[in-house]
Structure 1
Amino acid sequence: MTKIFFRNFRVSCLQLNKCNYATAPNAIATIKLNNKEYVTDDYTNVTPKILSYLNRNLHLKKDNPLSLVRQRIVNYFYSSFTHRGNPTFSVYENLSPVVTTKQNFDDLLIPENHPSRTKSDCYYINRKTLLRAHMTAHQSELLRSGLDNFLMIGDVYRRDEIDSTHFPVFHQIDAVRSQRKEQLFQDFPDLELFEPTFDPQNPHIFTNSIKDPNKQSCHTLEATKLMEAQLKNHLIGLVQTLFGDNIKHRWVEAYFPFTHPSWELEIFYENNWLEVLGCGIVRNEILANAGPNNTIAYAFGLGLERIAMALYKIPDIRLMWSKDSGFLSQFEDKALNERITYKPVSSYPQCVNDISFWLPPNLTIDTFTSNDFYDLVRDVGGDIIEQVKLKDKFVHPKSKKHSLCYSIIYRHLERTLKQAEVNEVHKEIEKAAVKAFNVIIR
């Protein structure tokens, strides 16, 4: 069970958000996650609300739509890749979401100044530890263990806006497939994985470059192009398995720090182009640092929520977390490939309240971090918060004070909210904003 405590007393949501431990100057503030304690510091921004989602494992819940999509994807890889009748892909579905910054960033060649490292994007436990922002965080540790083909499935955590398609916790499948020369070129033994200037036994004396858009400098063009062809064929087969053989698709060139070349796959679905995954050829530095110096690999990652919402016409991402039988029963005991269209149990009305405040002198409309405010709103309002939108920015022409206005949309998924109870929650959000950010409510 996840717990948050200061040795002998609990910490409030706002104290945890601000890392304000002044009430206990001689105590060491710690967070206990899955029976392990972590010392907090100035980077700590994970909140009790976010920690309450740990260990829910929606991707493993039998009647959850995320589990249906997960099983369909796993089955595709089991059936598509076999050796002597056995699946060649191994599956890891219970990896701990608590990772180090080395796992989440350094092992994946993500630069120190990359925006994905910032406190506004990630949920940090402390400077060296965070809730994983992507399943790729486990890639190097699995490669080091000697694995060559594997799927990593689990929940990931990112600070984000609040609306019907964004939630701070979602679920990903990441995969790696690596091949040696004799596997990739079994019909062309004279071809090579690496350029003559690159020695796979001494990879660190070679500076790998990604200046060529077609390949990494260590790889031959033949190896890269054959891996690209395999990768794209396999992923087109996957989306056809999910969305039908006639689904239109297109490839878009992309950039990821851990692959080169890289692409995104989009499908034409419901009269719109929908991005479904990112992929590419794994940077050789990652493979060399993890141990396998004689292979080339591809990798991809996709979000289960995006696929499930499109397949089953689910309008609100919060429904994935619902325990309501009216939602779950629609996916109960269904065949994996059955066509399911979600039918709303009932439609409850929205309540919309605005909040406007003057920022303190040390903040401006450009330096205030909206994700901090979103986390506060979510912590106070919980799952009745449907959306938070920045409505207006204002600088007073005379006083030069900066003001922000947000619209908060409240809606309960299982009953009608009364305006009076919404107003009470809204007042608590105002109080919390004053305390957390030193703002003045307008």
Structure 2
Amino acid sequence: MIFWRLSKRIQLRPVKLCLAGVVRSSFRSHRGLTSQAITSELPTGGAPGGSLDVLGKSYPRDDHSNVPGKILSKVGKNLHNRKHHPLWLVLERVKHHFYQQYVGPFGTPLFSVFDGLSPVVSTWQNFDSLLIPEDHPSRKKGDNYYLNRTHMLRSHTSAHQWNLIRAGLNAFLVVGDVYRRDQIDSHHYPVFHQLEGVRLFNKHQLFGDIKDGEPLQLFEHSSRSSHKQETHTLEAVKLVEFDLKQTLTKLVTHLFGEGLEIRWVDCYFPFTHPSFEMEINFQGEWIEVLGCGIMEQQLVNSAGAQNNIGWAFGLGLERLAMILYKIPDIRLFWSEDERFLKQFCVPNINQDVHFQPLSKYPALVNDISFWLPPQNYSENDFYDLVRTIGGDLVEKVDLIDKFEHPKTQRISHCYRITYRHMEKTLTQEEVMHIHRSVQARAVQLLGVEGRF
């Protein structure tokens, strides 16, 4: 499920939502950083012509293409399927819970699991199939990675909902890497992993156990302006909402233990109504862990399941793992450092893991100031450029000052970039190599005027 605000509020204060392989370009513990290594990672998109090759398929570039090489290098890594990785551990716990709790009439698991669907989807799958309007801010080029105008790296696993319902499935989980352009800090990363759940009910499934339930209906019909409208009955909504909240309460309790304090917050998503977010009280702090809701009937009908009503939820695996295992930095999920990975090689997936922090190497901080161009400047473009050049050596980027010239009305931004290697001490010479490249490329690619 999409739940856009999840990624925007992933302060795991840490923490809606909210990552996939091996970091190659920046976790170089025994090699220096050279200009050649930096320039080889420049963005591949931006202008028509040529093509992008992803997972064995070629996509023609156009004016919407904006996927950097560093992002493309992470496609297909599938950290959630890497045995004994912390994301794999969380996913296995979720899968086993659903397998044990929800069984079909013949003793087989009720929920099908899809954990290998391609992250390349059409823009129709990612947005239109989910009733997301053309002017919705979630479609912005500045927030997504587009291969071209018709294809993109999915921004949520909800992009597969319509197709799976159309295929006749009525209970399924979808897991995979998703991609969003976002700010840079220890709890945000442009690639993360989502788990999506969908369940549909027909009249018999919903009302079959209710005494004298035969007269109860899933839908009621009304006529407005000569157009017939189909809406859920109050009884159906109450039953589906109860099942949804009960299902998710059981799941979160399974992960975090009994006695967990939970609260539900009303919210809005384009393809569910009503919609909710779940927050848990974790060590005295309320943290949002997932979003959910009753699916809009228009979506269900268009996928060919007209006689059903259903719910959907979405959560981020990184967020759950960071809370469960107290992992302080999202970049660690990409580390090849055995000191990190071996901590999760446990014989039982439900075994508690008390993450032992790696040595904290010192940070180096550099500021960059520039005048913005008159138009077409996006902060996410700058963050993407910094990630592309600095990779995972960049711990965070903070906008620390905005200034508007009183006479010219030109606007200046000053950003503070914190560099820190997860596995060794950086030198100022190495960092300045990267920082000067950021300055030069910001001028060249973003049209800013440097105040260096």
Match of 1:280 in 2: 293
Shift >4 Å, 4+ stretches: 11-15
Using the alignment, how far apart are the partners of 1:383 and 1:127 within structure 2? 29
**Deviation of residue 193 (structure 1)?**
3.7
Match of 2:80 in 1: 59
Using the alignment, how far apart are the partners of 2:43 and 2:198 within structure 1? 40
Using the alignment, how far apart are the partners of 2:65 and 2:353 within structure 1? 41
Using the alignment, how far apart are the partners of 2:263 and 2:43 within structure 1? 47
Given residue 40 of structure 1, which amino acid in structure 2 is its aligned partner? R
- 1:59-98 mapped onto 2 (5 Å cutoff): 59-83=80-104, 84-98=106-120
Higher relative contact order (CA 8 A, sep 6+): 2
**Deviation of residue 34 (structure 1)?**
1.2
Partner of residue 216 from structure 2, selected from 192, 200, 206: 192
Q: Is the aligned partner of 1:326 residue 2:347?
A: no
Match of 2:28 in 1: none
Given residue 122 of structure 1, which amino acid in structure 2 is its aligned partner? N
Partner of residue 388 from structure 1, selected from 388, 392, 397: 397
Q: Is the aligned partner of 1:49 residue 2:45?
A: no
Using the alignment, how far apart are the partners of 2:41 and 2:186 within structure 1? 24
Using the alignment, how far apart are the partners of 2:85 and 2:315 within structure 1? 18
Match of 1:438 in 2: 447
- 1:342-357 mapped onto 2 (5 Å cutoff): 342-357=355-370
Using the alignment, how far apart are the partners of 2:304 and 2:47 within structure 1? 43
**Deviation of residue 398 (structure 1)?**
3.0
Using the alignment, how far apart are the partners of 2:387 and 2:355 within structure 1? 26
- 1:14-413 mapped onto 2 (5 Å cutoff): 14=42, 16-17=44-45, 19-20=46-47, 28-83=49-104, 84-188=106-210, 189-197=213-221, 206-207=228-229, 218-360=231-373, 362-363=374-375, 368-413=377-422
Using the alignment, how far apart are the partners of 2:233 and 2:337 within structure 1? 54
Match of 2:14 in 1: none
CA offset digits 1:101-160 (Å, max 9, x no partner):
110000000011110000011111111111001000000000011100000000000110
Q: Is the 8 A contact 1:185 1:191 kept in 2?
A: no
- Calculate percent identity across the aligned residue pairs: 51
Secondary structure (helix, strand or coil) at the match of 2:141 reads coil
Q: Is the 8 A contact 1:352 1:407 kept in 2?
A: yes
Given residue 386 of structure 1, which amino acid in structure 2 is its aligned partner? E
Using the alignment, how far apart are the partners of 1:55 and 1:287 within structure 2? 30
Secondary structure (helix, strand or coil) at the match of 2:219 reads coil
Partner of residue 431 from structure 2, selected from 418, 422, 431: 422
CA offset digits 1:34-59 (Å, max 9, x no partner):
11111111111111111111011000
**Deviation of residue 345 (structure 1)?**
2.2
CA offset digits 1:264-304 (Å, max 9, x no partner):
00000022101010001111111111111111111100000
* TM-score normalized by the length of structure 2: 0.87
Using the alignment, how far apart are the partners of 1:196 and 1:116 within structure 2? 32
**Deviation of residue 13 (structure 1)?**
5.2
Using the alignment, how far apart are the partners of 2:220 and 2:324 within structure 1? 47
Q: Is the 8 A contact 2:222 2:229 kept in 1?
A: no
Secondary structure (helix, strand or coil) at the match of 1:85 reads coil
Larger mean Cα displacement after TM superposition, 181-190 or 386-395: 181-190
Given residue 113 of structure 1, which amino acid in structure 2 is its aligned partner? D
Given residue 424 of structure 2, which amino acid in structure 1 is its aligned partner? R
* Structure 1, gaps ≥5 residues long: 2-10, 22-27, 200-204, 209-217
Using the alignment, how far apart are the partners of 1:380 and 1:243 within structure 2? 38
Secondary structure (helix, strand or coil) at the match of 2:221 reads coil
**Deviation of residue 15 (structure 1)?**
5.8
RMSD: 1.8
